[in-house]
Structure 1
């Protein structure tokens, strides 16, 4: 976190909040956030007097465009931006502050301190890390079914780690890969070269549909994500696989199981997403057993409630007024 939908939501929010504002000064409270230049004084001097022209995005990176400069910002796990009055108290873990000439300030807060900032001359950001080797944008017009098939090629990599590879397709993280694979009915341990043409088409459509729905919902606030105005995303209420271990699949009612693929916790319906031969059978079996065990008490509680309600109805008596 955050992934493409969350970064896109932040971009839209910042675009409305800071476009047209001019930087009066910059306060750097944690220098290691700065990557280019890495000197706080040089970083501040380059920005002073510049005006923000708009906010754009490349994958999970924000591109904050100023007159004559581009600030590339990666939020990593818990980075967030917020607009404040300059005189408001500064919260803990606020590491970079852009003071504007109108008395407001854009503050960058990052509890985990993993975020990064780079300054480039316009256009140079695409020729250097961290943007240089990024792959296809899944919500761009250039992301066509044919481009997707070519990106997958005949790779023998498991499909989940491949989709997480930002040099192949950008913006996808653990949440949305699990969701897209579930929607497409594809097991995450299938290798790309084993996917049929129809399966690739289903996966392409699932990626687009999942991301578009998540953007419309403002992203997923699974942990600490909020947009630039402190508002939570709502897509977590639409999740069908991720984080739903032991809960019934909305298609077949089989329990969602969780195991590890490529070092990442992975959520799967084993009936809708058939495991390939040679998959992590032990892990899959253990996950299925654990999911079934955890689902048991929930089913018992649900049945008990149903019996109680049915009993009330069968008795024919009136319920007491509240």
Structure 2
């Protein structure tokens, strides 16, 4: 029986995608709290854009300004987080995290400053955004960028996974067995909840077209945050715990071999969730042991789940039966 070997060289296992998204989440919460505190003192028209001299040259409603800020922060946070998780651009993850912190603090701090300035009352035409405030925001952004650089850690060294465990179950002829486990990601559940709240806010303050898009996106994330993995004589299937419909099914006839090994979600696949890469794909809600299927097409499909060695052994047992013509 072949055992899995450790990865070659040390790897950085920090969740860089979440680290990159964290400042945007915090800034969004701070901006929402500030808006809630000063909403009753805001005029009907806000000065929201300023020329080089600090004079306003663009205006918006309070609801429109809030919606624009929330959408911008959310899109940037999700976008930069996904880029960092997928390792794009290659070997520049640490710089991307630092950029995320710099951007979040600069944009969020400027939005809060504009909001508080308009809350002082008076004609928004007379509001000013002096250069010293811009300089303070840039300085705070640089400090935040340095913090992001430290939190990201060193760039991971390249590593290649080694072969996994291949074995069979001692299943009596003519009998059938099934295996099932549930794997969940609390962080993805929190992300889905945050996106759902953002969708409701967008719907209330900016219109339900954008809100509906955000709500549908949150449902997509929610569907993937908890999945039941099932192995039986038909093959492997992934079914969301929130829905009775299989998310993905791999028939036994499409499997060449099943193994079990430890999988580093970030080091090998660049992040978590449903991952698609050249020659391989899979559902990775965490790092750790997982089932690895070598398909007849030559591709590889993986899913991280507890007791993966038993699942792989059961699949191999059914594969032996199928090839020998014994049936299931």
TM-score normalised per structure 1: 0.27
Whichever of the two has the greater Rg, that structure is 2
Q: Which has the higher helix share?
A: 2
- Choose between structure 1 and 2 for higher RCO, CA contacts under 8 A separated by at least 6 residues: 2
TM-score normalised per structure 2: 0.27
